[in-house]
A and B are shown apart, each in its own frame.
Chain A
Amino acid sequence: MRIAYDRDACQGHNRCYQLAPELFDVDEEGYAVLLVTGEVPAELEEKAQLCADNCPEFAIEVEA
Chain B
Amino acid sequence: MTDTVPETKRPPVEDWATDFDHTHPDYAANAPEIWDDLRERCPVAHTERFGGAWLPTKAADVRAIAEDTDRFTSRGIIINDFRPELDIAPRGYAPPITSDPPFHAGARRLLLPPFAPKQIEAWEPMARACCRELLDEVEAELAAGGDVVDAATAYAQDIPVRVIAAMLGLPQEDGDKFRMFIHRILETPGQHDDIDPSETLVAYLSEKIRERRESGADGDDLISYLLTVEGTDGNRLSDEHVFGTIALLLIAGIDTTWSAIGASLWHLAQHPDDRRRWVEDPDVRIFAIEEFLRFYAPVTMARLAAEDTEVGGCPVKKEDWLLLSFPSYNRDPEAFEQADEFVIDRARNRHSAFGLGIHRCLGSNLARLELTVAIEEWMARFPDFELADPGTVRWSTGQVRGPRCLPVRVLGHGAA
Contacts and interface: CB of A to CB of B under 8 A. Distances in A.
Interface of A: 11-15, 17-19, 26-30, 50, 53-58
Interface stretch (B3-11, B17-25, B346-354): B346-354
A30 B203 CA distance: 33
B354 A30 contact: no
Contact of B350 (A14, A18, A29, A53): A53
Secondary structure type dominating chain B contacts: helix
Contacts of A30: 112-113, 115-117, 365
B182 interface: no
Interface stretch (B134-142, B164-172, B356-364): B356-364
Contacts of B354: 13, 56
Contact of B348 (A11, A18, A54, A57): A54
A28 B116 contact: yes
> What 5 pairs across the A-B complex have the smallest Cβ distances?
A30-B116, A29-B112, A11-B360, A53-B348, A26-B117
B360 A13 contact: yes
Contacts of A26: 116-118
A31 B137 CA distance: 39
B117 to A, nearest CB: 5
Given A12-B112, A18-B286, A28-B113, A54 B350 contact: yes
Contacts of A55: 350
A14 B115 CA distance: 11
A11 B350 CA distance: 13
Interface in B298-357: 347-352, 354, 356-357
Contact of B116 (A19, A29, A56, A58): A29
B349 A54 contact: yes
A19 B117 CA distance: 13
B147 interface: no
15 contacts: A11-B356, A12-B116, A14-B117, A26-B116, A27-B116, A28-B116, A28-B118, A29-B109, A30-B112, A30-B117, A30-B365, A54-B290, A54-B348, A54-B349, A58-B350
